[in-house]
């Protein structure tokens, strides 16, 4: 089995993290892991993309140092590297997730108002 590269904590760079989080699909994946509080199997992500594209997004998150990927049989389980991210950039992931949640609430409110 191929070993997956995970950057060391000291090698996690802010531009890489922000770039990875700038994609809506990757942001949604991170939010799903964050909100569940536990690792998620790739097959469980609720995103409207092909499996191969999902794998590329998972790789981008892993290589940026945002997630850790663990192989279990044929599955890949993703978890957030919260401790590493907070050590490098205190409060960043919590702030991004709060902003994401607020944005989703505002989107829902606008959609509800438009439907009336």
Tell me, rounded to whole angstroms, the distance of Cα 19 from its chain centroid: 12
Centre a 10 Å sphere on the Cβ of residue 73 and count the other Cβ atoms it contains: 5
Distance CA 92, CA 76 (A): 25
pLDDT single digits (tens) 66-109: 999 998 888 899 999 999 999 999 999 999 999 999 998 888 88
Domains of the chain: 12-115 (1.10.10.10)
pLDDT tens digits, one per residue of 78-90: 999 999 999 999 9
Q: Which two tokens stand for residue 115?
A: 């439907």
């Amino acid at each position: 089995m191929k070993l997956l590269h995970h950057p060391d904590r000291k090698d996690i760079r802010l531009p890489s993290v922000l770039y990875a989080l700038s994609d809506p699909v990757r942001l949604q994946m991170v939010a799903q892991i964050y909100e569940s509080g536990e690792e998620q199997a790739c097959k469980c992500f609720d995103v409207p993309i092909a499996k191969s594209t999902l794998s590329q997004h998972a790789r981008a998150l892993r290589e940026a140092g945002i997630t850790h990927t663990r192989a279990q049989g044929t599955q890949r389980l993703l978890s957030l590297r919260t401790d590493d991210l907070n050590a490098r950039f205190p409060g960043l992931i919590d702030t991004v997730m709060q902003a994401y949640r607020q944005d989703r609430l505002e989107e829902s409110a606008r959609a509800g108002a438009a439907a009336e």
